[in-house]
């Protein structure tokens, strides 16, 4: 599943390609559950509700993409497992996994049309072969009241080390579970949780309330370091993830534990394991991420 660095990369790609463009047409091929249009958005049909709106902003919150449109409406997108946006300069060949295709004007379209009567459209495909991705349309006023956004915790790249420690000490829970909980911090998933815990030499099952402040501050530092590095590398492509131009990220080269089950630990030479922790699993090194052991650098 795309996590913060991957979603951030997609947002940056969208900013470079679609801001300022007007929606000329929308083709929908999505299951009914994939699309929600709020009662306050008029009309309440997805395609007509988007028609003629201009794309003004693209922002990320946690793993959510928020596309601000003219008329006070936001298109809220969650990529879930395999959702992708692909930007196309020419009409794309139809793909059965394209759930929605947006036809967009060029920013100067109105003038161009007036001058030459010949607009040059571009296209944005929302493609998702597993079809878990979600597109929702809300008025800007009601957006932040929605479940999935309103309960989000702080952004990991914005929270201070001190606040992170306070948050972690507030109630006891396993470190890995806390990092995955979007209401604890927003945007971290399996990859960056496992990598950060390894970097901080912390066992994924240790209780947040029992880890000393100094080690939690160290974890906070590694989370920020790894997320920033991954954004610079355009994310991790271990599954199907790519940016809006179809290019893969390269952070997978830097992974120390995620997807390295059975391989030697790069720090102590021990064998990396993948173990079930509740409903999820964690990759870690039992040699240098000991339960209750003070972190080693
Ligand atoms: Zn190790």
CA distance 94 to 140: 32
Q: What is the pLDDT of residues 29-84, one digit of tens each?
A: 998 889 999 999 999 999 999 999 999 999 999 999 999 999 999 999 999 999 99
DSSP symbol at 41: S
Provide the whole-model pTM: 0.93
Which residues are designated catalytic?
2-3, 63, 280
161-284 fold: Helicase, Ruva Protein; domain 3 (1.10.8)
List 283's β-bridge partners, or say none: 274
Q: What residues does each domain of the chain span?
A: 4-143, 161-284
Mean pLDDT of the chain: 93
Residues at Cβ < 5 Å from ligand 1 ion: 265, 267-268, 270, 285, 287-288
The two three-digit tokens of residue 29, written as one number: 């091929």
Q: What is the pLDDT of residues 157-166, one digit of tens each?
A: 999 999 999 9
- Write down the pLDDT at residue 58: 98
pLDDT score of 240? 82
Residues of the chain falling short of pLDDT 70: 108-119, 293-297
Which residue is associated with the tokens 């972190």? 295
Q: Which CATH class for the 4-143 domain?
A: alpha beta
pLDDT of residue 296: 41
**Residue 24 C-alpha to ligand 1 middle, in angstroms?**
54
DSSP secondary structure string for all residues of 80-126? TTTEEEEEESSPPPP-TTEEEEEEE--TTHHHHHHHHS----EEEEE
Q: Could you tell me the CA-to-CA distances from 1 to 7, 146, 252, 268 in Å, in that order? A: 10, 22, 14, 29
* Beta carbons within 8 Å of 160's beta carbon, 6+ residues apart: none
Give the pLDDT confidence score for residue 108 in this predicted structure. Answer: 58
Residue 240 alpha carbon to ligand 1 centre in Å = 29
Chain centroid to CA 295: 29
CA distances 275 to 2, 193, 225, Å, are 21, 14, 25
Distances (CA, A) of 143 to 37, 106, 148, 150, 293: 11, 27, 10, 8, 43
């Amino acid at each position: 599943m795309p996590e913060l660095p991957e979603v951030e990369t997609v947002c940056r790609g969208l900013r470079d390609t679609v801001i300022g463009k007007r929606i000329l047409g929308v083709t929908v091929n999505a299951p009914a559950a994939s699309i929600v249009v709020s009662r306050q958005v008029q009309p309440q049909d997805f395609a007509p509700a988007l028609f003629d709106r201009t794309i003004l902003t693209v922002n990320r919150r946690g793993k959510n993409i928020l596309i601000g449109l003219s008329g006070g409406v936001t298109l809220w997108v969650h990529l879930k497992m395999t959702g992708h946006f692909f930007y196309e300069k020419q009409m794309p060949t139809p793909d059965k996994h394209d759930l929605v295709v947006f036809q967009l004007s060029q920013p100067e379209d109105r003038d161009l049309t007036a001058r030459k009567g010949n607009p040059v459209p571009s296209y944005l495909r929302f493609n998702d072969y597993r079809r878990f991705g979600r597109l929702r349309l809300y008025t800007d006023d009601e957006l932040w009241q929605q479940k999935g956004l309103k309960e989000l915790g702080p952004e990991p790249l914005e929270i201070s080390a001190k606040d992170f420690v306070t948050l972690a000490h507030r109630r006891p829970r396993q470190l890995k579970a806390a990092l995955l909980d979007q209401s604890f911090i927003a945007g971290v998933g399996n990859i960056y949780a496992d990598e950060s815990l390894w970097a901080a030499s912390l066992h994924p099952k240790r209780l947040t309330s029992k880890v000393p402040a100094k080690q939690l501050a160290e974890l906070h530092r590694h989370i920020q370091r790894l997320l920033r590095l991954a954004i610079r590398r355009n994310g991790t492509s271990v599954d199907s993830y790519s940016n809006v131009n179809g290019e893969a990220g390269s952070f997978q080269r830097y992974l120390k534990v995620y997807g390295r089950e059975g391989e030697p630990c790069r720090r102590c030479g021990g064998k990396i394991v993948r173990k079930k922790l509740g409903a999820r699993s964690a990759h870690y090194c039992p040699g240098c991420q000991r339960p209750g052991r003070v972190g080693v650098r």
